[in-house]
Structure 1
């Protein structure tokens, strides 16, 4: 079970959301992950969920699941100012794209602006992430929270 404040047990939905947000918070600046890849990683650990569930978590990351994001996140100082929504609860949502590399349509401009600012490789037309060059896998970093 995912850690929570003392005396509080997370529901299954909150446990899943916390695991998704943990993965998303670890995506380095200038890199990206797909909903499906995040679902696969979290699914290996928890045995449930899929890309749509990841999308649902991401849609609620700024309000519904804000309590699952620690205040002391040890964020990368390079990320300061890159967040297009100042109160995005320390979750770099713009780094999560669909299987074609497209950010969420209702935030496409903000997401692409943030990705460009971070130097994330984009397609020639600048409307999608160039996944072959930008995709990030947690194995790319030393063992972390997901392995605990």
Structure 2
């Protein structure tokens, strides 16, 4: 796993505003790296260095042990949650998915370019 890809994923997680989330696939698409599994692996290994609870599965969940910890952050940040009585909480992706503005897209594009330049000809 290239260091530039790890750094870009963690940097993008840091850009996501409180109360908002992206899926692993969203991150992969924005940075044009690997896919959801790669991003999930990076978050699993290195996520503690970033607001890990903002990068989640496309269905609005995380692994059960992480979800219990993440809910504390979600409530503090006002992240829209679905909390059925008989099931674990999930993020309401339709309401919580982050849609970057132009200046944020510029920052994401800088991250994407750094990854692209670092992995040119090497693969991510």
Q: TM-score, normalised by structure 2?
A: 0.76
Greater fraction of residues in helix: 2
Aligned to 1:17: 6
Cα distance in 1 for partners of 2:29, 2:4 equals 15
Counterpart contact for 1:97–1:104, Cα < 8 Å: no
Runs of 4+, deviation exceeding 3 Å: none
Counterpart contact for 1:112–1:127, Cα < 8 Å: yes
Deviations 1:79-128 (A, max 9, x none): xxxxxxxxx33x10011111110123231110111111111001142710
Of residues 119, 123, 142, the one that matches 2:78 is: 119
Cα distance in 2 for partners of 1:119, 1:146 equals 24
Alignment gaps of 5+ in structure 2:
111-124
Bigger relative contact order (CA 8 A; separation at least 6)? 2
Q: How many residue pairs were aligned?
A: 106
Cα distance 1:129–1:141, how it changes in 2: closer, same or farther (>3 A)?
farther
Aligned to 2:108: 146
Of residues 73, 78, 93, the one that matches 1:131 is: 93
RMSD value, Cα:
1.8
SS of 1:142 mapped into structure 2: helix
Q: TM-score, normalised by structure 1?
A: 0.65
Alignment gaps of 5+ in structure 1:
1-11, 63-87
